[in-house]
Amino acid sequence: MTGLANPQAPTSSLISERFWRNFIPIPASHRFQLGDRAPDFTLIEAGTRQPYRLSQHWGERPVVLAFTRIFTERHYCPLCFPHLVAMNEAYNKFAAAGAQLILLTSTTLAQSQVVKTDLNLQPPLLCDPFCEVFRQYGTGQALGAPLSAQFVLDKYGRLRYWHHFSFFGLQRRTVAPALHLIDPANGLNHAGTDESLMGSGSPASEHVTCSHHEEF
């Protein structure tokens, strides 16, 4: 299991060991192909302080993994913060579509508890202070924190969509692409990468379609 089971007193200091570990820019890497089984992991959930395993949803419902870029409980990436707020506001829409939205943060458990309370976050907020899962999913890092990313998995844990953050050629980021993938009848309609679904702003159905149209 990855994470901290016993929280320590949160600190608002931006400069820390974790900051320096993530300071050198490393771009995001495309480690998976569409249809690959996503790596399973177990992290501590900030609200319950209990282990939370990704694969508990396999065979049950699709999952949206949103890797956030948060430095401390008082320091957020200004480019990523609006998207974090938008994902939280869309939580009920994902739930109504039969999907589980999960947020991941590189902050400590104690810091994450403050974040969850201050922002009134509805989705599970999983703590990865050693950035092991961030690295496992190839999100990249820069200037003190891992980069944000988003992955959509079908009910079998297979990758159907991803979006990686980049400082170069910044793309608009909304919750629409992920919501578009999840059919109201609990099935995925489409699959694609950030380039195919987010580049032009057109509906995902105009770019690429799943080969099996599986239902959940």
pLDDT tens digits for range 68-79: 999 877 888 888
Q: How many CB atoms lie within 10 A of CB 150?
A: 23
pLDDT band at 197, cuts 50/70/90? very low
DSSP 29: -
Residues 6 or more apart in contact with residue 59 via CB below 8 angstroms: 155, 156
Domains and their CATH numbers in the chain: 20-26+36-170 (3.40.30.10)
Which span out of 144-148, 199-203, 210-214 was modeled with the highest average pLDDT? 144-148
User: Whole-model pTM?
Assistant: 0.77
Reported in sequence order, the residue ranges of the chain that DSSP labels E, i.e. its strands, are 42-45, 51-53, 63-67, 70-72, 75-76, 100-105, 125-127, 141-142, 145-146, 149-153, 159-164, 192-193
Mean pLDDT, to the nearest integer, of 163-186?
64
Q: How many CB atoms lie within 10 A of CB 34?
A: 16
